[in-house]
Every structure is written in C-alpha cells, then in structure tokens.
Amino acid sequence: MKNEGIEGTERFLSPGKGRGLRAVRHFSVGELVFACPAYSYVLTVNERGAHCEHCFTRRDDLFKCGKCKQAYYCNVDCQRGDWSMHKPECLAMCAYGENWCPSETVRLVARIIMKQKVTTERTPSERLLLLREFEAHLDKMDSEKDELNQADLAALHHFYSKHISNIPDEQSLTELFAQVNCNGFTIEDEELSHLGSAVFPDVALMNHSCNPNVIVTYKGTVAEVRAVQEINPGDEIFDSYIDLLYPTEDRKERLLDSYFFTCQCTECTTKSKDKAKMEIRKLSSPPEPGEIQSMVRYAKNVIEEFRRAKHYKTPSELLEMCELSQEKMGAIFADTNVYMLHMMYQAMGVCLYMQDWDGAMSYGEKIIQPYSVHYPAYSLNVASMYLKLGRLYLGLERKTQGVKALKKALAIMEVTHGKDHHYVAEVKREIEDQK
C-alpha cells in the first residue's frame, strides 16, 4: 500500500508537542474523522468465550479452538483468519497448561512480532504514522519501569521462544515494549469493560488534551475517531489519553508518569473544573488548608491501596474498604468530590460483580449527576454510567427511570459512537422493548 494519508487531515509538527494531527477541513460534532484498523490486537483472558478472538464480536454461540480449548470464534472463517496470530499462543498454552500466564502486554508484543514478520509494506493502520516511528522514551525510564520492562522481556522469551522463530534482540525488544507502553490502547465495550489491548499507529499520532475535540471508540477491532467539538481547518486534533475525572494536579502527574510530558492544555492552565472536583463539605467551621491537604493524601493512598487490594481481597472486604474510606473522607469532602466518586464507582463495580443490583443502583444514582458536571459534554464515562444505570433500573422493573437513563446514554453515544454503531442499535432496541 502506498501512503495515501487520511482525507481531511494531515500530519504536522505541533509547536512544543512534536508531531501531531491537524484538520484540513471542517468536521461537525459527531462526524467520523477517520477509522483505523488495529495493527495488532489481543482479546483479554477474562473475555474468552464471550467474544470472538478474531473479530471481537460478542455472542453466546461461539465455538472453541479444538487444540487449546481456550480461544473462541464465530465460525471457521474467523478461526482461519486468526490462526497465524493464535498459533504460537495455542502451542504455548498447550505446553504450559495452568502455568501459562504472560501479561496482556507480552501477549500483544508477541503478536506484533508475528505481524512484523509477514509485513513488508506500510499497513492500512499506518497511513500517517508507522509503528516503528513510535516514541519509546527509553531515556526517561526510571529503575521501576526498567524492571517491569525487563520482566516482560523475560516472560516473552519464557512463553514464546519455542513457538516464535527469530525473536528480535534484547535492545529491539526493550524498545518495542517501551513503545507499546506509551502508544498502546485498551479496547473497551459500551459499559467501559476491558475487552483487550491493541496498537493503532494512526490513532497514536494524535496529541493529548484534557479538553479533547475527538473521542476514540471501537467497532470490533477497528478504532473510530469522531469529533465531539466543532473542528475547523487548521485546528489540531486532540484525544484524551487519560480519565478526565481528576483535578489538574493529578492529571499532570499521570501524564508525566505514563507519557512523559507536561500538559499545557486550556483545562490545565485555567483549572476551571478543579474547585468543583475538589468540593468541600459545607460545615459550620470550614476545615483548615492543612486538613484538606492531608485528606487528599489519604484519598490518593486509599485509591492506590484499593487498586492493589482488588487482586487479593474478597468482594465484601473490598466493599468495606470503600465504605470506610467514604466515611473518613466524608468528614471533609462533599459527596460530589472526585475522590468520593472514585470510591463510589469502585463500590458500584463490586456490587455489580456480586450481583447486588440495588446496591449498584444506589451508587450509580449518587455518581451520575456529579459525573455529568466533571466530565466534558460528550464523555464515554458519562454515557456508560447512564447505560449501566438504565439497565439496572430495567432489571429492577423501574421502567420509566430505565428508559429515561438509556435515552441519556443514547444521546451521547449517537455522537461518540455514531448513529449506525451496533451498540447504539442495541440501546434503541432495549428502549423499544419497553413500549
């Protein structure tokens, strides 16, 4: 394939940001700017059996790979289409049995290596940016990141060296892992459940803004980029790399740590949403600045502690952690404070996992209004929250509230996903079924 670019856009040098993507024509809100098929992708282990490994279609009549009995497909075509990518993993899973446990990044990198072997030309995923042009930021890696990188490298050799010939040398692999860490994407469904990991070189060309003018959604394993603000010729096109719930200081920290740059977008300069995000409870005697600071420190610690605890604590222990931390933070923070919301969101997730629908619903009801204030106008976080809430209401026979919430989700998704997306059709059907 020769380089034909992407119609309506161009690659350019963005002042202070390096390369970026710029519009050369006008795009209206909801318009598709471009689509990009995944260069490589991998379905997450937890979704095996629920989604096709090849096309990511969600259905309940998939059939499994006869050899490993772990990978599932729509039909023979999907299985054949996936075989070159699945083969090394299939053999490794058969050989290692229960001891097969590479991380998702390792699995993705193995697939990238396989793809690179059979690719000689520019792929349709690389119309403006080649995978090998990805930034690695190797010079900015600290010892902690270096250790993680080396562990991934060792795991790749351990699980795949017998099944992939000519694995690149150590230096190339170190670079490849770093490139994937800075430029990789996670694919999520309409409720933001994690489905897998992928690389989309052209999508990775976009720089970040905390007030983005496009949003990335997925149709199977294809990324779609849609305008969520009016974009004029000459405007730079920005997506967001991170969850935008948090205040400026937290976002900057996250961007610097994961992507090695200091964000200077309008949101980061004006900090216009920080006050609402950090809302303090109305008390007869307002808290001292020191008390607020120490509560913010506590909140950040508990968020980190909870993230780790998810891997080993029981659901009821996790729920208790959520409740205790909310009680403690609630002495100073308002219920609309993002740290309170973070723990409520986690609690809602645990309730959903435990099939405690009433519990999940009451957390969802507390979260949804402040979410709509803190996030930008068109947000996948807000849409997915309306969707979860609407589905919970309908499951609990609260028809009017259910339909109302689903309509709110739909209004956002028609812009972020496009009117013809299968997720949009599904939500429309759910609303229709209530008539």
First to last CA, the chain: 50
Q: Within positions 5 to 34, which residues make up the interface with Zn ion, using CB under 5 A?
A: none
Min dist CB 47 to Zn ion, Å, is: 13
Nearest distance from C-beta of residue 280 to Zn ion, angstroms: 23
**Total binding residues toward Zn ion, as defined by CB under 5 A:** 16
SS3 assignment, position 418: coil
Of 267-275, 332-340, 349-357, 368-376, the window that binds Zn ion (rule: CB under 5 A) is 267-275
Closest to Zn ion by CB, 52 vs 199, is 52
Of 65 and 351, which CB lies nearer to Zn ion in the complex structure?
65
Span from 24-32, 85-93, 238-246, 379-387 in contact with Zn ion (CB under 5 A) = 85-93
Residue whose pair of structure tokens reads 């519990």 in the numeric block: 359
Interaction between residue 68 and Zn ion (CB under 5 A): yes
**CB of 196 within 8 A of CB of 41?**
yes
**Options 17, 26, 67, 297; binder of Zn ion; rule CB under 5 A:** 67
Amino acid at 113: I
Alpha helices in 44-196 (DSSP H): 76-96, 104-118, 143-160, 170-183
Residue 297 sits in the site that holds Zn ion (CB under 5 A) = no
Work out whether 265 is an interface residue with Zn ion (CB under 5 A).
yes
Q: Which is nearer to Zn ion, 65 or 176 (CB)?
A: 65
What is the number of alpha carbons within 13 Å of residue 359 lying toward its C-beta? 17
Taking each helix axis as running N to C, give the angle between helix 380-395 and helix 399-416, from 0 to 180 degrees, rounded to the nearest 10.
150
* Pure H helices in 97-142: 104-118
Tell me which stretch binds Zn ion (CB under 5 A): 44-52, 100-108, 355-363, 418-426.
44-52
Q: In the bound complex, what is the minimum distance in angstroms from residue 206's beta carbon to Zn ion? A: 14
Is 180:138 a contact under the CB 8 Å cutoff? no
Where is 330: in which H helix or E strand?
none
Given candidates 6, 23, 52, 299, which one binds Zn ion under the rule CB under 5 A? 52
- Binders in 87-116 for Zn ion, by CB under 5 A: 90
Quickly tell me which residue has 């937890």 as its tokens.
46
* 62 touches Zn ion by CB under 5 A: no
Q: Where are the alpha helices (DSSP H) in 161-193?
A: 170-183
| 228 in contact with Zn ion (CB under 5 A) | no
Closer residue to Zn ion (CB): 38 or 405? 38
Please, what is the minimum distance in Å from the beta carbon of residue 100 to Zn ion? 11
Name the minimum Å distance from CB 90 to Zn ion: 3
65 binds Zn ion (CB under 5 A): yes
Helix-strand-coil percent breakdown of the chain, rounded to 5?
Answer: 50, 15, 35
55 counts as binding Zn ion under rule CB under 5 A: yes
Binding of Zn ion at residue 38 (CB under 5 A)?
Answer: no
Of the candidate spans 71-79, 143-151, 223-231, 283-291, the one that interacts with Zn ion by CB under 5 A turns out to be 71-79
Query: Which of 238, 345 has the CB closer to Zn ion?
Result: 238
**Whole-number Cα distances in Å, 112 to 2, 39, 198, 223, 353:** 21, 8, 9, 17, 33
Is residue 78 involved in binding Zn ion (CB under 5 A)?
yes
For residue 198, state whether it binds Zn ion (rule: CB under 5 A): no
Select from 123-131, 209-217, 237-245, 328-336 the region that touches Zn ion (CB under 5 A): 209-217
Among 92, 173, 268, 405, binds Zn ion (CB under 5 A): 268
Which among 29, 65, 18 has a CA at the least distance from the CA of 206? 18
Sign of torsion over alpha carbons 348, 352, 355, 360? positive
The residue (of 65 and 322) whose beta carbon lies closer to Zn ion is 65
- Residue written as token pair 């471009």: 34
Task: Single out the residue of 44, 203, 196, 83 nearest to residue 131, CA to CA.
Answer: 203
403: alpha, beta or left? (left if phi > 0; alpha if psi -120 to 50): alpha
The one among 36, 71, 131, 387 contacting Zn ion by CB under 5 A:
71
Least distance from Zn ion to the Cβ atom of residue 432, Å: 26
- CA dist 346 and 340 (Å) reads 10
Establish if 222 lies at the interface with Zn ion (CB under 5 A): no
In sequence order, the 6+-apart residues with CB closer than 8 A to the CB of 175 are 136, 138
DSSP code of 27? Answer: B
Q: Which of 74, 187, 347, 351 binds Zn ion (CB under 5 A)?
A: 74
Q: Pick the piece of the chain touching Zn ion (CB under 5 A) from 64-72, 155-163, 184-192, 397-405.
A: 64-72
**Are 125 and 39 contacting, i.e. CB atoms less than 8 angstroms apart?**
yes
Tell me how long the chain is: 435
Our CB check for Zn ion shows the closer of 208 and 408 to be 208
Nearer to Zn ion, 235 or 335 (CB): 235
Can you give the binding site for Zn ion, defined by CB under 5 A?
52, 54-55, 57, 65, 67-68, 71, 74, 78, 90, 210, 263, 265, 267-268
